[in-house]
Amino acid sequence: MICGKEGMSDMRKQYLLDEGWYFDKITEGIDEFSGYLENRGVEINLPHTWNTETDNYRGLCLYQKTLKLEENHQKDRMFLEFLGANSVCQVYLNDKYIGEHRGGYSTFRFDITEVYDWEKENILRVYVDNSQTNDVSPLNGDFTIYGGLYRSVNLICVPESHFDLMFYGSAGVTIQSEVDENANGVLNVDCHIVNGDNLLLDLKVVDAEGVVVNKTEALAKKQKHRLIIEKCELWNGKANPYLYHLTATLRSENKIYDQVELTFGFRKCQLNSDTGFLLNNESVKINGVAKHQDFSDVGNAITSEHIKKDFELIHEIGANALRLSHYQHAQEVYDLCDQFGYITWAEIPMMAMPNNDGVIDNAKEQLKELIYQNCHHPSICFWGIQNEIAMGGESLSMYKGVHELNDLFHSIMPHGISASANMYYVQNASPLNFITDMLGYNLYYGWYYEDIEKLDEWMNHFHKENPEVCLGISEYGADSNLAFHSDQPKVKDYTEEFQSLYHEKTYAIIESKPYLWGSFVWNMFDFGSDIRNEGGTKGKNCKGLVTFDREIKKDAFYFYKAKWSDNPFIHICEKRFVNRCDEQITIKVYSNLKNASLYVNGVQVDSSEGETIYSFVNVPLTMGENEVVVRGNSKGNEYIDKAIFVRKDTKDESYVFVDPNPGINVENWFTQEKGELDYFPEGYYSIKDKMGHLMENKEAWKVLEEKAPQVVERSLPGSAVTLMWVFDKMRNRFTEEEILEINSQLTKIPKKTD
């Protein structure tokens, strides 16, 4: 028997189906067996994913359970609701095919009314497949594509007359709000109703204090409604995340049939290419962090507790904005963004756009689901339609596809702000920079390429060439492994110290540009990436300011906390860099206090006034253990942090990252026995050539088709990235020997000369 909980009204019932599933991996394809095999697989509860940090299986799996409802629902319509199933989901009830959903991150439903058998237990089989497809985005990405029923499954029972549960996974009621020239709130309500021709519709709006501010009665057959809230209170980010509440009731004179409740807010969002982002006509610099939804040990099968933990840390760091990367997140996440006032960038998982109509068609469906399920959220100010799609090169079909998505977005949300995130290789004059309303660049100067200081030059040059473009930085960051440390940090040493230095320098440049709408740090948390084996860490992207398990805040976390948070604190950096061999060291402190005093072994050695970064140089250490204390004062309160540093005779070599596969890193090729010309002879192809150039030569491309088909299948004509860069990104897929062999074969192929 299903144990239930009441849904959104006395008439609508919603039953949680998270318990009592049987799970099994499938290798033979979708079964045609009849009946329920209780001994097939293992018993599990939802949320569930079959992927772990060591199990990267991408394929077909089966979830099954039995259903039996109380007989008082025999006159109702019944819908299975999936809040997230990654990536392709097919549903059978009593061996009858119910339907398929292609997309791993949105809510979707199936009507099972005609198939449900009231005379017996019903057998539900759900097939979920996270295999690579040719049409379901994301086609690729630097994050794990977890499979599973990783969010809850519900059974919803409603009368024959109801708000349409099949309208793109929405509540059947959608809201878009505006603020008119008289500071009145304008609420555009679309009600999608099934069997409502002879019924009435009540719309009631209450404010945050519970006062009714609008009450409208209409015929249910009227779909669109425009409500006015005079002199509305504005949702104003963290300063005042003010929310209203809409109740839509479908009824006759004597009976309520269905009811939907939505929370919303009024705000005005604008972009200016010279001054950045404006919220309610006031300039707001976006100090944002990006986040994925996964969590150590549970993957994407997170619970409310995981989500709340993330928001606690985001609140602590003081960010005012979130980029919810790179797909639709759980509804609870958007609700919390509304409640806490985070300016939010939501997006679909469009990570690659080959010349394939199926990819665009599927992206359009995912975009509709994202919008219709979430357009009532005032926190969502930006709607992302593509991220780094030019990684494999650009094409006319790509521009056409982005235009189609952008046009679709504006046809649904005429007052919304579309957004895109381009990568370093997209040139200033590229059409990709002029399609969406808002443009972000994912830039990693000083980590993947060139020096950090080049970022300043790049931004000034771009703004000069494209003064009308509303520009910001949608990603920037550097990996760190908390096992590695150095008092002379450098790029790709994966030390916590270099990550901090990277953020200090990069954010100073970003902060100096008034024309930027702002930035999003990549990333708030370490996250799963099964293609990675980098910096002594396998299966994770370690650019997070907080570890994957959310247990350790890296030093860079406290740098941003010092910049953004008003809650007084003081923090000694490099605490994990315990063992030292120098008589004197530099001690760095992050704080939002205006003063800091340093004590070593109970003796004050220095004090300073300043902000954000305090650097105490030539701090003496005695042999053995040294206690370091830093103190700061604000408004009569003292704030303290402590650390232990141990001076030893010799350097602790365990702090140094030793690359087990140095041949893949271009900067290390030239230090081996052979020189650059031996590896990359002039006039011949090599892995240093751009993918687009290799593709143009049949002989060179044949080498890759034979030796690296997984690279070939991701490539697009005209790609500006080098094969070396691709191998570096996919370094756990290829050994050094395999790459050397591919390079050896390429260097036998001469380039044509004019």
Q: For residues 456 and 725, what is the distance between their CA atoms, to the nearest angstrom?
A: 23
CB distance 41 to 62 below 8 Å: yes
CB distance 148 to 49 below 8 Å: yes
- Residues 6+ positions from 752 with CB-CB distance below 8 Å: none
In angstroms and rounded to an integer, the radius of gyration of the C-alpha atoms of the chain is 28
Of the residues 388, 394, 475, 497, only one is catalytic, namely: 388
SS3 helix, strand, coil % of the chain, rounded to 5? 20, 35, 45
261 is catalytic: no
Secondary structure (3-state) at 724: helix
Secondary structure (3-state) at 220: coil
Q: What is the dihedral of CA 259, 261, 262, 266, to 10 degrees?
A: 100
Token pair for residue 653? 């070599």
Task: Categorise residue 369: left if φ over 0, alpha if ψ from -120 to 50, beta otherwise.
Answer: alpha
Nearest to 245 by CA among 129, 338, 120, 337: 338
User: H or E element: which one contains 743?
Assistant: helix 736-746
- Residues 6+ positions from 4 with CB-CB distance below 8 Å: 13, 14, 15, 16
Q: For residues 84 and 17, what is the distance between their CA atoms, to the nearest angstrom?
A: 13
Which stretches within 323-390 are classed as H helix?
331-340, 357-374
Q: At which residue do the structure tokens 């929310």 appear? A: 243
Q: For residues 426 and 433, what is the distance between their CA atoms, to the nearest angstrom?
A: 8
Q: For residues 265 and 269, what is the distance between their CA atoms, to the nearest angstrom?
A: 12
Token pair for residue 516? 């930027």
Question: Phi, psi (5° rounding) for residue 217?
Answer: -115, 135
Hey, which residues does 129 pair with through a beta bridge? 60, 88
Polymer length of the chain: 754
Nearest to 328 by CA among 358, 300, 288, 352: 300
Report angle CA 12, 16, 21 to the nearest 5 degrees: 145
Q: At which residue do the structure tokens 């030019």 appear? A: 390
Token pair for residue 181? 């020239």
- Residues 6+ positions from 499 with CB-CB distance below 8 Å: 477, 478, 479, 480, 543, 554, 555, 556
Q: For residues 400 and 307, what is the distance between their CA atoms, to the nearest angstrom?
A: 37
Amino acid at 4: G
Separation in Å, CA 20 to CA 44, 128, 437: 6, 17, 47
Nearest to 259 by CA among 6, 5, 10: 10
CB-neighbour burial class of residue 660 (10 A; exposed 0-12, middle 13-18, buried 19+): exposed
CB distance 244 to 206 below 8 Å: yes
Report angle CA 425, 426, 428 to the nearest 5 degrees: 125
Nearest to 727 by CA among 692, 691, 697: 691
Q: If you write DSSP's letter for every residue of 665-704 in order, what string do you get? A: SHHHHTTSSS-HHHHS-TTB--TTSBHHHHHHSHHHHHHH
Nearest to 199 by CA among 114, 259, 263, 262: 259
Token pair for residue 400? 């056409």
By DSSP bridging, strand 162-163 and strand 108-111 are unpaired
Give catalytic residue positions.
388
